[in-house]
């Protein structure tokens, strides 16, 4: 396909060189250390130029997601990927997207840190004729034509799976009539992972008048915050039956807090522990019976994106919503997946 923006690619190349030089000179002390430029493309290569604003690097899941995309959109596959890490800040994402627009990239991809606040910048991308692909999280937009496709997880369903698992587990344990006290470590406030997992779990919880959600508190999807928030839960609530942690990294922190207080979790423990993501280190804890259940959130989205862009390049239509496949892991089935989990 002929690329209409050759002169911008040349400009983009020069800008990337300057950014690379600047980032080397200021390594460790400037904003460009989060921009990872590849070797600059030349016109003959006819590469598809993609600007990707990743929201941050808060979790093992996020690292796996970035790697999956970087592995798919390679030079060998015909791509030049400019990767920009927004460090959890929407303003950084908006700045990166505006940068991609002024460079006239072929596609813009981003994983929205929170759902709201994207209409203006996406309108600018649309006006510039650049297709936008949303990755992982969703954006809440007045006009859906502001993006071409979204690839990610059905996170309402993830939350519901957690609720359904708890329902069945309590029944199996003969505890379905018991008063059950629940605390929830939530992810980044306003992110679709936090909003939808919460909504999905509530869809099931509201059918059980004996389930009491004592507190839901954000812990930003990080281990450090997970520990801090779990310590607060333990100080304030004496009788917790269930901990729900909306990602594995927060679960690791929560586990540290509970261990320090001599509290056990899991299959034979004091507290039922439900986690999300299913990264390898957490699946090991499922296998050991320390986490009861891990609801998978699949970060391997690179191949889906590759296929979407290839179709668009061929002038084919693509599905607007592309949901990745996901499982539920318990001690019963986890061992068959442990060896092949790469992240």
* Contact positions vs ligand AHR (CB under 6 A): 58-59, 61-62, 136-137, 193, 221, 247, 276-277, 297
Output the smallest distance, CB 115 to ligand AHR, in A: 11
Output the smallest distance, CB 76 to ligand AHR, in A: 28
Q: What are phi and psi of 97, to 5 degrees?
A: -65, -40
Q: Which residues sit opposite 180 in a β-bridge?
A: 211
Contact assessment for residue 133 and residue 149, using Cβ atoms and an 8 Å cutoff? yes
**Both ends of the chain: CA-CA distance in Å?**
35
- Decide: helix, strand or coil at residue 5: coil
Lookup: tokens for 321: 């919503």
- Decide: helix, strand or coil at residue 238: coil
Output the smallest distance, CB 30 to ligand AHR, in A: 25
Q: Which residues sit opposite 135 in a β-bridge?
A: 151
Contact assessment for residue 294 and residue 276, using Cβ atoms and an 8 Å cutoff? yes
Positive or negative CA dihedral for 135, 138, 142, 143? positive
CB-wise, 58 or 241, nearer to ligand AHR? 58
Contact assessment for residue 343 and residue 64, using Cβ atoms and an 8 Å cutoff? yes
Q: Which residue has the tokens 């290569």?
A: 45
Half-sphere exposure of 208 (CA within 13 A, CB side): 24
Output the smallest distance, CB 314 to ligand AHR, in A: 30
Contact assessment for residue 131 and residue 107, using Cβ atoms and an 8 Å cutoff? yes
Output the smallest distance, CB 277 to ligand AHR, in A: 5
Helix (H) or strand (E) holding 48: strand 48-54
CB-wise, 48 or 185, nearer to ligand AHR? 185
CB-wise, 61 or 118, nearer to ligand AHR? 61
Q: Please count the other Cβ atoms lying within 10 Å of the Cβ belonging to residue 207.
A: 10
Query: Cα(80)–Cα(311) distance, rounded to whole angstroms?
Result: 17
CB-wise, 23 or 59, nearer to ligand AHR? 59
Output the smallest distance, CB 65 to ligand AHR, in A: 8
Output the smallest distance, CB 137 to ligand AHR, in A: 5
Output the smallest distance, CB 240 to ligand AHR, in A: 22
CB-wise, 115 or 231, nearer to ligand AHR? 115
Helix (H) or strand (E) holding 42: none
CB-wise, 58 or 82, nearer to ligand AHR? 58
Measure Cα distances from 304 to 128, 135, 150, 192, 279 in Å: 25, 10, 10, 20, 20
157 burial (CB, 10 Å; 0-12 / 13-18 / 19+) is: middle
CB-wise, 89 or 98, nearer to ligand AHR? 89
CB-wise, 55 or 334, nearer to ligand AHR? 55
CB-wise, 204 or 297, nearer to ligand AHR? 297
Positive or negative CA dihedral for 284, 287, 292, 296? positive
Output the smallest distance, CB 61 to ligand AHR, in A: 3
């Amino acid at each position: 396909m002929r690329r209409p923006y050759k002169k911008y690619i040349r400009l983009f190349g020069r800008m990337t060189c300057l950014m690379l030089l600047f980032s080397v000179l200021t390594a460790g002390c400037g904003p460009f250390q989060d921009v990872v430029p590849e070797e600059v493309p030349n016109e003959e290569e006819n590469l598809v130029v993609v600007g990707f604003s990743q929201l941050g690097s808060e979790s093992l899941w996020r690292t796996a997601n970035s790697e999956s995309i970087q592995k798919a959109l390679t030079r060998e596959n015909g791509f030049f990927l400019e990767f920009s890490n927004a460090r959890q800040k929407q303003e950084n994402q908006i700045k990166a997207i505006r940068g991609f627009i002024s460079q006239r990239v072929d596609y813009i991809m981003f994983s929205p840190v929170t759902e709201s606040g994207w209409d203006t910048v996406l309108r600018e991308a649309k006006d510039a004729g650049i297709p936008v692909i949303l990755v992982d999280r969703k954006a809440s937009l007045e006009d859906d034509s502001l993006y071409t496709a979204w690839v990610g997880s059905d996170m309402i369903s993830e939350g519901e799976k957690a609720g359904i698992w708890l329902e069945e587990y309590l029944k199996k344990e003969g505890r379905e009539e018991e008063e059950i006290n629940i605390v929830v470590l939530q992810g980044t406030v306003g992110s679709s992972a936090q909003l939808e997992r919460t909504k999905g779990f509530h869809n099931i919880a509201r059918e059980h008048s004996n389930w009491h959600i004592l507190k839901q508190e954000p812990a930003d999807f990080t281990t450090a915050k997970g520990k801090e928030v779990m310590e607060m839960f333990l100080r304030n609530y004496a009788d917790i039956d269930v901990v729900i942690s909306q990602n594995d990294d927060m679960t690791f922190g929560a586990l540290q807090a509970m261990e320090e207080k001599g509290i056990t979790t899991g299959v034979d423990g004091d507290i039922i522990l439900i986690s999300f993501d299913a990264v390898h280190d957490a699946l090991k804890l499922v296998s050991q019976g320390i986490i009861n259940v891990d609801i998978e959130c699949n970060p391997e989205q690179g191949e889906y994106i590759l296929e979407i862009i290839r179709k668009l390049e061929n002038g084919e239509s693509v599905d607007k919503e592309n949901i990745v496949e996901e499982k539920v892991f318990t001690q019963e089935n986890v061992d068959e997946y442990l060896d092949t989990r790469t992240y």
